[in-house]
Structure 1
Amino acid sequence: MPIFQINVSVILQMAVHRNQFKTTQPAAGRITPEKFLSGFPPTTQALAQRLRELIKQTVPNCIEKVYPGWRLLGYRVLIKNKSHYFCFIAPLPDGVVLGFEYGIFISDPEGLLQGEGKQVRQLTVKSQKGIRSRKFAAFIKEAAELAALPKRELVRKQLANETAAIPHSSC
């Protein structure tokens, strides 16, 4: 018989409380997005700021967090007390990357999204003129919706994509 018993519901409640606290108040020592961006050239800061505004306008209740190790700003959408990562802004010396966690599934008939991996797709923006607000907002909205899907739906979509990519030979 174990000396102590782990109460999973208490641990989950603690985790939810901790995550809610993180989203409402910056902890002492946590880097702010403004501070993070201050290390980049002014043009990069302006591009990142415009994209930050667009993300927040498109997904008003999103959670913004600096990931200094990855050198990016990450965005999460909160669904039923659980946050789901959906996009990021990665500043560069000469521009900004706007990336989407489940970008492979985003509708992109113009072929604007870049990337070769199994999941993530991104846009590289070098100037204010390169920000196509309506198109980018549509990508952001769809990315948030995809992130909120149950994992089984994403797996189903991924399997469908992989099956479609397999060349079929005729006998």
Structure 2
Amino acid sequence: MAQQDDLTVEDLLRGHDPAVVTAALWLRDLVISTVPDAREKVWPGWHGFGYRHPRAGYLCGVFPRERTVSLFFEHGARLPDPACLLTVSGRRGRSVVVERAGELPTDQIIALIDAAIDHRGSR
């Protein structure tokens, strides 16, 4: 196993159900293709990986669970969500929860990612 600082997304996903791995990698690809200049960091203690935007700072995180994967937005309560994709994760946090890759329209998830950049970049 890799050292904590050298842990990769693939290391983090090892041992998960194949559907969870596929969903996590699908969300990862969505974030990376939407925000190619975002930096990815694996958080072993939180069992997830997240993205930092050069202007907006922390953008979102991907958290694999036993049967689902959450795309978490720390300030998700402030994001427009006309498709009602976001579930409550706390007072200000919201998540998009998926069970399998491609089950939700990518354009709606991309709109949330873009909104998070706009919200965080306007601080």
TM-score, with length taken from structure 1:
0.65
State how 1:112-151 maps to structure 2 within 5 Å.
112-115=85-88, 117-150=90-123
User: What is the deviation of 1:28?
Assistant: 8.5
- In the alignment, does 2:105 pair up with 1:105? no
- Within 5 A, what are the aligned runs for 1:22-171? 29-79=5-55, 84-115=57-88, 117-150=90-123
CA RMSD of the aligned region, Å? 1.9
Q: Give the gaps of 5 or more residues in structure 2.
A: none
Structure with the largest fraction of strand: 2
The structural deviation recorded for 1:138 is 0.6
Residue 129 of structure 1, CA deviation: 4.1
* CA distance, structure 2, for counterparts of residue 127 and residue 145 of structure 1: 28
C-alpha distance in structure 1 between counterparts of 2:4 and 2:68, whole Å:
30
Q: What 5-or-longer segments of structure 1 have no aligned partner?
A: 1-26, 151-171
Question: What TM-score, normalized to structure 2?
Answer: 0.88
Residues 90 and 60 (structure 1), Cα distance of their counterparts in 2 relative to 1, 3 Å cut: same
- SS for the counterpart of 1:111 is coil
Aligned residues, how many?
121
Q: Deviations over 1:15-52 (max 9, x none)?
A: xxxxxxxxxxxx99520111111231111111111110
Higher relative contact order (CA 8 A, sep 6+): 2
**Percent same amino acid among aligned pairs?**
32
